Structure 1
Amino acid sequence: MSSPASSSDREKVVSKLPGWLRQNLKVRAAQHGIDIQTAVEQGIRDWCSLASTGQPVDTSGADSFSTFLPPGQWDDFRQSATDRRVSLIQGLAQSVQLWLDANPAPDVERPEITRRVIVCNQKGGVGKTAITAGLGEALAEDSDALHPVRVAKALTKALRASESEAGETEPVEDPLDIENLPGPGLKVLLVDFDPQCHLTNQLGATPLPMSGDSLTNHMAGDPKGDLRDLIVSIDEEAFGGRLHLLPACNDAFLLDVRLSAVRAREAALERALAPLEGDYDVIIVDCPPSLGLSMDAAAYYGRRRDGERAGQSGALIVVQAEDSSADAYELLTTQIDDLRGDLQVDIDYLGIVVNLYDSRRGYIATSSLQGWVDIKDPRVVGLIGDLKEQKEAVRVKRPLLSYAPKSQQAVGMRALAREVL
């Protein structure tokens, strides 16, 4: 049946499709960046132009499906189905399958040079580990599934709201600001570079024993084996084996001392991780709250390499909307700028993430957020609320995006991932 659509020059049509076929259609249309109605229109047009009836499609369990088509197309389709002696449901299913076959899922776009993200701030407690994990999880999500993402206008709205006085309640996300998008499907390595092992523990892995091999040993030039043997997979269905972790070891407390005896110590992290880069699209380093030699090595690892475009790799700075984060930010950027000058390298800032934000904390929070927004370069690329789901995920030692995939924090992490990309 059909009825005029009041919002456009199309007409609304109602039929039935099996759930699995409707889901494949939604995902594939999103992968190609087109509306479902456009995909169905193309499929019906191509089906009507076939010389004979297409291959039968299993339509058992089909339920209501509606879309909008150009005026007259549904009538032409109905006539074609009658001529071919197939039901409208079968004809529509064949049309959708025909479009799917003609428009396969695009390949995941992989970088020519492995991208390196250094998540840093010498101030502890700002949530670097949560941002490292959330960013990596979002980048590794399945490209053949849809995930709720906060669109760019929602971040802009939140940042503008910081200019007004805090309300009595935390702002609620507008459902219209959420869009379901395919995951990036990238291969991601998370590196726990912090001797406190927070990232390792939060993701349910075991810190490396002091008596064995570690990233510290490889950086100090005293490896005891292959660094690949230390890597563990984050075995959650949402990541499909694409998300891995290099656990930390408490021996990293001694890293600065050991690096002091190493030649070209700024390149120590790069020398250790370079053999792994061919296995990953992105490597994300969770840095310790330190401004020592280990931070120099991390910043140098994130420098722009020959042939790499600006903004592909670099430092992602995590802060909170309060005054002490601003002091720490100045210290960190001074160190990075000094390293740039001393070694004559380009180290890009990928942006600022304001984490654990809650406008109910009043003027301190809102005015501090506005201060971060005013910096402009680097600009604010993420605003993550202080909500319970992240704390719960840490408690149960599970990734946030699989524990609470529809939470506001998860939605914000996906938005951050797309800003960084």
Structure 2
Amino acid sequence: MASPSSPGDREKVVSKLPGWLRQEVKVRTAQLGVEIQVAVEHGLRDWCALASAPDAVDTTGADSFSTWLPPGQWEEFKAVAGQRQVSLTQGLARAMRLWLDKNPAPSVKRPEVPRRIVVCNQKGGVGKTAVTAGVGEAMAEGADVLHPVRVSKHFAAILPSEEGSDPLTLEDLPGLGLRVLLVDFDPQGHLTKQLGHDLLPMDGDSLTRHMAGEGMRDLGNLVVPIAEDRFGDRLHLLPSCNDAFLLDVKLASVRAREAALERALAAVEEGFDVIIVDCPPSLGLSMDAASYYGRRRPNEAPGQSGVLIVVQAEDSSADAYELLTSQIEDLRADLSLDLDYLGIVVNHYDARRGYIATSSLQAWMDIKDPRVVGVIGDLKEQKEAVRVKRPLLAYSPRCDQSVGMRALAREIS
């Protein structure tokens, strides 16, 4: 059925498609950045131009499907379908199958050099671990599945939505599909525990031992997968070990200690697109090594790797921020490093806390270099995910915090 009332000189068409095929078209058009109505237009055009009809498509359970087409195209399609003695539902399904075959999904763009994101702040309790995990999960979500993201050129895209806000401000987009390694560089091991894994035993191998030149076997043997369907085999973890409390002592006697983390992780870099390091709340030698690891390498574009600073909308975070950036600036100067700031993430934000929260957020937003790249709300879903030891984006993929993590991942990509 076609209706003449339409935007853009098109007419509305109502037919039927099976749900699985409609979803596949929806995902593919999002991957390619084209409108569904354009895909249908091209699919029908190409199907009508074929010398013979392609194989049948299973249309069991087909339900209502509507779109907008150029005037006259639906009538032309109906005539061709009649000549080929196929129903309109079957003809439309074959046309969309043809369009999918002619427009394959784009491959994931992988960086030539693995990106290195160092998540840091010497102040504890700001949520570095939650941001590390959330960004990594967002980057590892499947590129063949749509996920809710708040997308805008304006800063509002990374602000938590207010209670009762319009859910239509969200857009479903394909995941980034990257291979991600989360490195638990904190001796407290919160990242390891939150993702449902045990700390490495003190008498066994560990990242600390490899950084100190005492590794027992290939570091890759310590990497474990995060077993959730939505991440496929793309999200992995290098667990922490309590011996990381000794790291600064061990590094004091290591030659070129600032490069110790880079030397250790070089053994696993090849298998990943992004490596995200959850740093301890420290300004010691381990933080020097983490910062050095995030430096820009030869032929690497600015902003691909660097430090991501997590803060809160309160005064003590500002003091800690000054100490951390002073250390980073000293490293930049002393070692002549090209060390980029990837931005500031304001975590645990809750506007209901009043003037302290809102004025602190404004103060962070007033900093232009580095700028705020994400604001994550203080909501219950993150705490619940920690309690059940599951990744947030698997536990509650549509909650506001998950949407915020996806926005942050895209903001720094």
Q: Same fold (TM over 0.5)?
A: yes
Deviations 1:166-201 (A, max 9, x none): xxx954443232110000111000000000000000
Is residue 366 from structure 1 mapped to residue 358 from structure 2 by the alignment? yes
The corresponding residue for 1:286 is 278
Is residue 320 from structure 1 mapped to residue 312 from structure 2 by the alignment? yes
The corresponding residue for 1:339 is 331
Q: 2:219 aligns with which of 227, 236, 239?
A: 227
Question: 1:22-171, aligned counterparts within 5 Å?
Answer: 22-153=22-153, 155-156=155-156, 170-171=162-163
The corresponding residue for 1:297 is 289
**What SS does the corresponding residue of 2:177 show, helix, strand or coil?**
coil
CA distance in 1, matches of 2:225, 2:181: 9
CA-atom RMSD in angstroms: 1.3
Q: 1:404 aligns with which of 396, 403, 410?
A: 396
Divergent runs of 4+, >6 A? none
The corresponding residue for 1:210 is 202
Q: 2:191 aligns with which of 187, 192, 199?
A: 199
Q: 1:186 aligns with which of 169, 178, 181?
A: 178
**What SS does the corresponding residue of 2:119 show, helix, strand or coil?**
strand
Identity %: 72
Quote the offset at 1:377 in angstroms: 1.1
CA distance in 2, matches of 1:273, 1:18: 47
Q: Give, as a single letter, the amino acid of the residue that structure 1 aligns with 2:150.
A: R
Is residue 391 from structure 1 mapped to residue 380 from structure 2 by the alignment? no
Q: Give, as a single letter, the amino acid of the residue that structure 2 aligns with 1:281.
A: D
Quote the offset at 1:51 in angstroms: 1.1
The corresponding residue for 1:380 is 372
CA distance in 1, matches of 2:316, 2:262: 31
Q: 1:349 aligns with which of 330, 335, 341?
A: 341
1:203–1:397 contact (8 Å) kept in structure 2:
yes
Quote the offset at 1:4 in angstroms: 2.7
CA distance in 2, matches of 1:343, 1:372: 28
**What SS does the corresponding residue of 1:289 show, helix, strand or coil?**
coil
Count of residue pairs brought into register by the alignment: 413
1:155–1:383 contact (8 Å) kept in structure 2:
no
Quote the offset at 1:156 in angstroms: 2.5
Quote the offset at 1:157 in angstroms: 6.3
Q: Give, as a single letter, the amino acid of the residue that structure 2 aligns with 1:272.
A: A
Q: Give, as a single letter, the amino acid of the residue that structure 1 aligns with 2:252.
A: S
CA distance in 1, matches of 2:186, 2:25: 43
2:118–2:279 contact (8 Å) kept in structure 1:
yes
The corresponding residue for 1:16 is 16
**What SS does the corresponding residue of 1:40 show, helix, strand or coil?**
helix
CA distance in 1, matches of 2:166, 2:111: 33
CA distance in 1, matches of 2:214, 2:340: 31
**What SS does the corresponding residue of 1:53 show, helix, strand or coil?**
coil
Further displaced range: 223-232 or 116-125: 223-232
The 3 A distance-change label for structure 1 pair 180 and 158 is closer
Q: 2:298 aligns with which of 302, 306, 314?
A: 306
Is residue 417 from structure 1 mapped to residue 399 from structure 2 by the alignment? no
- What TM-score do the two structures reach when normalised by structure 1? 0.96
Quote the offset at 1:152 in angstroms: 2.7
CA distance in 1, matches of 2:15, 2:131: 44
The corresponding residue for 1:238 is 230
Q: Give, as a single letter, the amino acid of the residue that structure 2 aligns with 1:302.
A: G
Deviations 1:260-281 (A, max 9, x none): 0001000000000011110000
The 3 A distance-change label for structure 1 pair 320 and 245 is same
CA distance in 1, matches of 2:128, 2:165: 24
Quote the offset at 1:350 in angstroms: 0.4
CA distance in 2, matches of 1:366, 1:4: 50
The 3 A distance-change label for structure 1 pair 157 and 30 is closer
Q: Give, as a single letter, the amino acid of the residue that structure 1 aligns with 2:353.
A: R
CA distance in 2, matches of 1:158, 1:118: 20
- What TM-score do the two structures reach when normalised by structure 2? 0.98
1:170–1:359 contact (8 Å) kept in structure 2:
no
**What SS does the corresponding residue of 2:198 show, helix, strand or coil?**
coil
The 3 A distance-change label for structure 1 pair 97 and 170 is closer
Q: Where in structure 2 are there 5+ consecutive unaligned residues? A: none
1:357–1:383 contact (8 Å) kept in structure 2:
yes
Further displaced range: 56-65 or 109-118: 56-65
CA distance in 1, matches of 2:17, 2:405: 33
**What SS does the corresponding residue of 1:353 show, helix, strand or coil?**
strand
Question: 1:234-273, aligned counterparts within 5 Å?
Answer: 234-273=226-265
Quote the offset at 1:27 in angstroms: 0.5
2:180–2:274 contact (8 Å) kept in structure 1:
yes
**What SS does the corresponding residue of 1:275 show, helix, strand or coil?**
coil
1:191–1:245 contact (8 Å) kept in structure 2:
yes
Quote the offset at 1:9 in angstroms: 1.8
**What SS does the corresponding residue of 1:22 show, helix, strand or coil?**
helix
